[in-house]
């Protein structure tokens, strides 16, 4: 998909972008996090071991990883808004279907294919929503709303990993009852309510976007046939691998967040596993509180300060420091697995440190993709290739992480995570800077 011109084909619509940028990116993030992160906690609550829970949820990242492959075909038909609305309606129906399917005796037989289908619908929503953003706003407005867009996306994980995980624990403990009358049912009823809530929210967002979201413009290069879309996709691959020192950039895109991928599923598992299993024995309520409020507030603050740091000092002199910021604080999990504190204050402090520096350092990754990997004939698509490599890393590490933890135990696993930071440091040290920062092109948008 070639870089699109930022023109608006519907000048009669004067509604503020605040009306749809905020809600659009929140809805995207809510669906993504529910499918690829919150499902891991649900699977564990339903009795899966760490290996299967991490593996099953990580497999759902595949659609988001390969979305550049079907992005040109989404461009061919109707408007971008049409695909946004269709995807959100189908996601809402899908989440409602999950809530209903969990009442079946063999619900997992239905859940995994349904989650798999929904992941491709969610990836299509991402493509179309980004297309509306890119083609409905000029470059100045895109830059103006970039921070709001990022903040709106990060509200999705706060609601999903924080509020909804907390709610699942509260419902499990305080609302539903066994037939015998005591508190604490199996987890199925609690999670059915959670998915029903997500379904309602997603459908309401679709209705809202039908009223306020612009259609999005069609670029002159938009393919008009499957053959043309395939040619554009093929050319985008060819030109990507013609970039100078491209394999070093590929290594950077894949390895920068290697340790984060290894921690993403196992960190929460460590929190909720019992002391006998080497964990901290926390409830879903406390997990939701720590990750969904303190942890994600730390990510937002770290991202803000990291952006200011890079803006003042430049990316090339700071990239290795940003890599250190992402990777070194992971030692907090190793220390917690050794000492296993029972103080909520100490546990929260460890998570806040890790998340703050993750937010601070990960800014360097996104800016590097925008300034060094993406520029060229297909800027948006090449940026999507970079984020796809990041997603591939997250999928691979997520699939193996639970099985590794079961073999190594938490102390051994978190030691392995620290060793796994070494490839990140090497990829960062050798990451090429082919484009001088003072002559860099305009900011790219994720696809």
Pair 277, 315 in one domain: yes
Pair 377, 264 in one domain: yes
> What does the mean pLDDT of the chain come to?
84
Q: Is 303 helix (H, G, I), strand (E, B) or coil?
A: helix
The whole-number pLDDT of residue 381 equals 74
The rounded Cα 234 to chain-centroid distance in angstroms is 26
Structural domain includes residue 85: yes
pLDDT greater at residue 408 or residue 187: 408
Find residue 177's DSSP bridge partners: 183
Choose one of 240, 268, 289: the last residue of a domain. Answer: 240
Scan for tokens 């290894």, then name that residue: 262
The whole-number pLDDT of residue 324 equals 94
DSSP string, 209-241: HHHH----PPPTT--SSHHHHHHHHHHHHHHHT
Pair 124, 273 in one domain: no
Pair 314, 385 in one domain: yes
Pair 257, 215 in one domain: no
The whole-number pLDDT of residue 217 equals 67
The whole-number pLDDT of residue 139 equals 61
The pLDDT of 159-178, averaged and rounded, is 83
| Domain total of the chain | 2
CA distance 115 to 405: 25
Pair 212, 312 in one domain: no
CA distance 274 to 281: 4
Pair 160, 231 in one domain: yes
Structure confidence at residue 404 as a pLDDT band (50, 70, 90): very high
Q: At residue 102, does pLDDT exceed 50? A: yes
Pair 96, 85 in one domain: yes
Q: What is the dihedral of CA 396, 397, 399, 404, to 10 degrees?
A: 140
CA distance 152 to 156: 7
CA distance 254 to 392: 7
Structural domain includes residue 6: no
Pair 347, 215 in one domain: no
Structural domain includes residue 4: no
pLDDT greater at residue 346 or residue 72: 346
Q: At residue 356, does pLDDT exceed 60? A: yes
Rg value, the chain, Cα: 22
Q: At residue 396, does pLDDT exceed 70? A: yes
Pair 253, 230 in one domain: no
* Statement: the pTM of the whole predicted model exceeds 0.85: no
Structural domain includes residue 31: yes
Q: What is the pLDDT of residues 184-237, one digit of tens each?
A: 347 899 999 999 999 999 999 999 999 999 987 665 566 667 787 788 888 888
Token code pair at residue 282: 């926390």
The whole-number pLDDT of residue 24 equals 92
The whole-number pLDDT of residue 174 equals 79
Q: CATH no. for residue 390? A: 1.20.1250.20
CA distance 424 to 431: 10
Q: What is the pLDDT of residues 239-286, one digit of tens each?
A: 889 999 999 999 999 999 899 899 989 999 999 999 899 999 999 999
% of the chain at pLDDT higher than 90: 49
The whole-number pLDDT of residue 367 equals 78
Pair 274, 361 in one domain: yes
Q: At residue 375, does pLDDT exceed 90? A: no
Structural domain includes residue 23: yes
Which structural domain range is residue 339 located in? 243-447
Choose one of 240, 270, 286: the last residue of a domain. Answer: 240
Structural domain includes residue 253: yes
Q: What is the pLDDT of residues 106-128, one digit of tens each?
A: 888 999 999 999 999 999 998 88
Pair 325, 354 in one domain: yes
Q: What is the pLDDT of residues 15-64, one digit of tens each?
A: 788 889 889 999 999 999 999 999 999 999 998 999 999 999 999 999 98
Choose one of 196, 223, 240: the last residue of a domain. Answer: 240
Q: At residue 301, does pLDDT exceed 90? A: no
CA-based angle 132:135:139, to the nearest 5? 120
Structural domain includes residue 393: yes
Structural domain includes residue 3: no
Which conformational region is residue 278 in: left (phi greater than 0), alpha (psi within -120 to 50 degrees), or beta?
A: left
């Amino acid at each position: 998909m070639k870089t699109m011109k930022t023109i608006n084909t519907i000048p009669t619509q004067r509604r503020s972008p605040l009306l749809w940028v905020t809600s659009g990116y929140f809805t995207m993030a809510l669906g993504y996090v529910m499918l690829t992160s919150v499902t891991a906690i649900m699977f564990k609550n339903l009795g899966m071991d760490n290996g299967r829970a991490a593996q099953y949820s990580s497999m759902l990242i595949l659609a988001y990883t390969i979305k550049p492959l079907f992005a040109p075909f989404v461009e061919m038909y109707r408007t971008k808004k049409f695909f946004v609305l269709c995807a959100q309606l189908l996601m809402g129906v899908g989440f409602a279907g999950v809530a209903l399917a969990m009442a079946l005796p063999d619900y997992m037989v239905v859940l995994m294919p349904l989650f798999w289908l929904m992941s491709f619908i969610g990836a299509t929503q991402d493509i179309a929503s980004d297309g509306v953003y890119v083609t409905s706003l000029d470059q100045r407005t895109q830059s103006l709303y970039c921070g709001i867009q990022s903040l709106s996306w990060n509200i999705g994980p706060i609601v999903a990993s924080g509020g909804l995980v907390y709610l699942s624990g509260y419902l499990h403990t305080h609302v539903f009852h066994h037939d015998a009358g005591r508190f604490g049912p199996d987890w199925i009823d609690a999670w059915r309510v959670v998915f029903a809530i997500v379904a309602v929210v997603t459908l309401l967002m679709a209705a809202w976007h039908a009223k306020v979201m612009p259609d999005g413009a069609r670029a002159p290069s938009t393919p008009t046939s499957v053959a043309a879309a395939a040619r554009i996709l093929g050319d985008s691959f060819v030109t990507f691998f013609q970039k100078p020192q491209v394999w070093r950039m590929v290594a950077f895109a894949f390895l920068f967040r290697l340790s984060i991928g290894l921690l993403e599923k196992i960190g929460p598992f460590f929190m909720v596993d019992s002391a006998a299993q080497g964990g901290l024995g926390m409830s879903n309520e406390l997990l939701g509180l720590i990750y969904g409020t303190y942890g994600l507030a730390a990510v937002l603050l770290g991202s803000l300060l990291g952006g200011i740091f890079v803006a003042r000092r430049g990316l090339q002199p700071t990239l290795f420091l940003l890599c250190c910021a992402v990777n070194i604080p992971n030692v907090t999990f190793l220390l917690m697995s050794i000492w296993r504190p029972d103080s909520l204050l100490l546990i929260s402090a460890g998570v806040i440190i890790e998340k703050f520096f993750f937010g601070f350092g990960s800014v360097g990754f996104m800016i590097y993709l925008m300034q060094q990997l993406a520029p060229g004939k297909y800027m948006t698509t090449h940026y999507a290739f970079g984020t796809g490599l990041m997603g591939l890393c997250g999928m691979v590490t997520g699939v193996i992480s639970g099985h590794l933890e079961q073999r190594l135990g938490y102390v051994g696993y978190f030691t392995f995570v620290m060793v796994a930071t070494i490839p990140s440091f090497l990829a960062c040290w050798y990451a090429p800077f082919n484009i001088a920062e003072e002559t860099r092109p305009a900011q790219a948008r994720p696809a």
